[in-house]
Amino acid sequence: MTERKVLIVYAHQEPKSLNGSLKTIAVEELSELYHPEQFNYGVEAWEACKNGSLSEDLIKEQRKVKEADLVIFQFPLYWFSMPAIMKGWMDRVLVQGFAHDFPQCYDSGLLKNKLALLSFTTGGGKEMYSDEGVSGDIRYLLWPMQHGIMHFCGFSVLAPQICFAPEYATEEERVQMLVSWGERLKTIWEEKPINCAVDGYFK
């Protein structure tokens, strides 16, 4: 099998958190690419991309994305979304001209032939994120991220890895979350992407 590369975009303040452990397992299991960088928040992304004048840190991040076969986004769910630092990474790295350039979006996005996976923790239990739960079906929360960002840029999206309410789980349950993630990663290249098209996502 040819060598494959994975980029993990990690957003959590505490390295010893479950998110940190999930990221560590992904690094250990996949033994690939993880290099956190500082970001330049003042770049006018699209014009800079067109003119070849993006800041060097963003060029490095884009190079990592280009080289990756799979990009894993590891984060805690904040306010039904990703942390601001991760959204900032997306705003500045997945810019027009690099990740998309209308009409080159969705199935024609510039990052087609790459895989993306959202791996995250929640504050609430699994029952909260169901049709009957107070937070509603988790797929509605993931729609803007999986369809509106990943699919828009051309990524083929793998099913999310969700660790529900680790803060309230037992130590044994948290260990099982890590074991389950590690086991999944062993066969990650065999997985088929989920349907992110409008007509299939919510079925």
Cα–Cα distance for residue pair 3/126, rounded to 1 Å: 36
pLDDT at 43: 37
Cα distances from 139 to residues 10, 26, 39, in angstroms, run: 21, 23, 30
Say if residues 79 and 125 touch (Cβ distance below 8 Å).
no
Work out the burial of residue 96: count CB atoms within 10 Å of its CB; fewer than 13 is exposed, 13-18 middle, 19 or more buried.
middle
Tokens of 85: 């630092």
Q: Give yes or no for a contact between 111 and 155, defined as CB atoms under 8 angstroms apart.
A: yes
Q: Which domains are present in the chain?
A: 6-37+46-190 (3.40.50.360)
Tens digits of residue pLDDT in 50-89? 677 788 899 999 999 999 999 999 999 999 999 999 999 9
Cβ within 8 Å of residue 40, ≥6 positions away: 55, 57, 58, 92
Residue ranges in the chain whose pLDDT is less than 50? 32-43
Taking the complete model, does pTM exceed 0.85, yes or no? no
pLDDT in the model for residue 161: 98
